[in-house]
Amino acid sequence: MNDLTDMSGPNWPQLWEKIITLSSEFGLQLVTALVIFWVGRVIAKTAQNTLHRILQSQQVDKILETFVCNLAYWAIMIFVIIAAVHQIGVQTTSLVAMLGAAGLAVGLALQGSLSNFAAGVLIVVFRPYRVGDWIEAAGISGSVEQVQILTTILITADNKQIIVPNSQIMNSVITNYSAKKTRRIDMTIAVSYKDDLDKVRKTIEDLIKNESRILKDPNYLIAVSELADSSVNFMVRVWVKTQDYANVKFDMTEAVKKRFDQEGISFPFPQQDIHIYRQP
């Protein structure tokens, strides 16, 4: 009877051996998983710091810099955590599927925001404009005050703040008036058919030479561009520094009017000749 009881009882040496074997295998897997997590965390932190230095050197907006760095860190950490959990023996297929479904749902819910974010990244990378530039985009013109994660803030000439989604800006034509150091002023000056064209040309040349803000190189252009219905039109093109564009254009327009009045050069008005025929 005692022999039967001994035979049906547990084989403690073998059971203990199995426990030790499983513990050693699981312990090795656990240690490997911890090593993967630690190394992956170091890599993620290094990548985050490197990206931080790169964006800081490019003088990227602080909000965008922090967001991009954190996004890169957690993107790497997600893969590290999945690899560490898989090393322990947990099946990660369903976990990856759940993360994919959650990411798809979030992406669909935030489609517009993600589009604006992607456009903001493109603005930072390709730099079609910088803070302080005067631009025209998405049907709006103004000075760039901030480039944020999802939007660009513009200040108009009458000091209104306009917040424009980045995707609208990137999907439109961007005109950057501050991109180059110099700009050309184009003016059309109309005079009467009775005026002496040589005198008009000489008067305009004197005005250009007396304006110190007009650049010598490239040289100016004065040419008769059109014989219109009521006037002879002169095309005047001069080059100035970008920051002087508006002031020089306004001052030249006023100077032309005053000087032409002194020289007796007339500005013609649109005219029509009406002929009346009387029938007997």
pLDDT at 117: 81
Domain that holds residue 133: 128-176
Tokens of 277: 């025929």
Tokens of 203: 């008067």
pLDDT at 75: 84
Q: Which residue from 162, 137, 165, 139 is spatially nearest to 151, judged by alpha carbons? A: 165
| Domain presence at residue 170 | yes
pLDDT at 102: 63
Using alpha carbons, list the distances in angstroms from residue 66 to 63, 71, 77, 79: 5, 8, 17, 21
**pLDDT tens digits in sequence order for the chain, 280 residues long:** 444 444 455 566 666 666 666 566 666 777 788 888 888 889 989 988 888 888 788 776 665 676 678 778 888 888 888 888 777 766 666 666 666 666 656 555 555 677 888 888 888 778 899 889 999 999 999 999 988 778 899 999 999 999 999 999 999 999 999 999 999 999 999 999 999 999 999 999 999 999 999 999 999 999 999 999 889 999 999 999 999 999 999 999 999 999 999 999 999 877 677 888 888 7
pLDDT at 112: 64
pLDDT at 98: 66
Tokens of 39: 């190394």
In Å, how far from its chain's centre is CA 78? Answer: 29
Q: Which residue from 242, 241, 225 is spatially nearest to 233, judged by alpha carbons? A: 225
Q: Are residues 46 and 101 in the same domain?
A: yes
CATH assignment at residue 40: 1.10.287.1260
Tokens of 209: 């030479």
Q: Are residues 187 and 161 in the same domain?
A: no
CATH assignment at residue 157: 2.30.30.60
Coil, helix or strand for 215? coil
Q: Which residue from 94, 96, 93 is spatially nearest to 78, judged by alpha carbons? A: 96
| Domain presence at residue 68 | yes
Could you give the number of structural domains in the chain? 3
pTM beyond 0.85, yes or no: no
Q: Are residues 166 and 197 in the same domain?
A: no
Query: What is residue 138's DSSP assignment?
Result: T
pLDDT at 279: 83
Query: What is residue 214's DSSP assignment?
Result: B
Residue with tokens 């020089």: 248
Residue with tokens 């002023």: 185
Is residue 102 within 8 Å of 111, Cβ to Cβ? no
pLDDT at 16: 61
Asked if residue 218 has a cis previous peptide bond (ω within 30° of 0), the answer is yes
pLDDT at 223: 97
pLDDT at 5: 47
In Å, how far from its chain's centre is CA 40? Answer: 33
Is residue 240 within 8 Å of 248, Cβ to Cβ? yes
Residue with tokens 């950490």: 77
Q: Which residues in the chain belong to E strands, given as ranges?
A: 134-137, 140-147, 151-155, 161-165, 175-176, 182-191, 221-227, 232-241
